[in-house]
Amino acid sequence: MKDKVVVITGGSSGIGKALAEKFGSEGSKIVITGRNEETLNKTVEALREQDIEVSGFRLDVSNEEDNREMAKMVLNKYGKIDTLINNAGITMRALFQEAELEVIRKVMDINFWGAIYATKHCLSSIVENKGSVVGISSIAGYRGLPGRTGYSASKFALQGFLEVLRTELLYSDVHVLTACPGFTTSNIRKSSLTKDGSVQGESPRDEAKMMSAEECAARIYNATKKRKKHLILTRQGKLTVLLNKFFPGFTDKLVYKVMAKEENSPLK
């Protein structure tokens, strides 16, 4: 991946930042995007202190024009885009019956439409360079999680889009990877939206027991380098996908039980 131009949406923290560190340490030229300019600038500075060539672009990923301008900036600066990692994402925690529809819409706009917009405006250069499109999905894109309506729906939609894209580009030598982390240490649960759109603030899960963002990023890097089509992470994640395929009724009860154990779970 040396000298490859890699765009990472949502690269200011969590898995996105870890991906920037991993790809950058291997010699890639990194462009990270983020909505919060202060956080974005701090991350750019931290990456440069690691001798990583990096640029930051303030971006509302749910805004198509922002994505168009981001792609133009990257092409003007580097002349190409080799890899796009659609990482920007947000989650929610509320029962569908109680959640305001605007909360679900916001999650879909960021997680699904954000990936659509970024891919649309970066794809021509990626095709020209026979590069990669990576989507950071989730186990929730294989198995719906109660209390995560918008999140699961957005990840199912993302995986459908990536599957179509991979098939359409089958004879173009473009690599499309669907990467599905299980529960991974990041700030996504702290910034999770509640039923009225307010921020949850604290994670309801034991973050210390999860796969680290750095390990997740290393595995995604290797899968990208090897041009794999699918990557399912964590033992729990792989088991959930397998059980849901062959024993969906049993998995309904199992998943309900696991999610109900979360602190202040909306499940009764």
Three-class SS state of 180 = strand
Measured CA to CA, the distance from residue 172 to residue 56 in angstroms comes to: 30
Give the active site residue among 78, 117, 142, 151: 151
DSSP secondary structure of 41-54: HHHHHHHHHTT--E
Sign, CA torsion 8/225/212/229? positive
Sign, CA torsion 4/40/45/218? negative
Picking from 123, 69, 55, 60, the residue whose alpha carbon sits closest to that of residue 88 is 60
The pairs formed by 40-44 with CB atoms below 8 angstroms and a separation of 24 or more are: 40/11, 40/12, 42/12, 43/11, 43/12, 43/13, 43/17
Q: Where would I find the beta strands (DSSP E) of 37-90?
A: 54-58, 83-86
10 to 47, 119, 168, 194, 264: CA distances (angstroms)? 15, 14, 26, 21, 28
Is 142 known to be catalytic? Answer: no
The pairs formed by 235-242 with CB atoms below 8 angstroms and a separation of 24 or more are: 236/139, 236/182, 236/183, 237/139, 237/180, 237/181, 237/182, 237/183, 240/139, 240/142, 240/143, 240/182, 241/139, 241/142, 241/143, 241/180
> Catalytic positions, please?
151
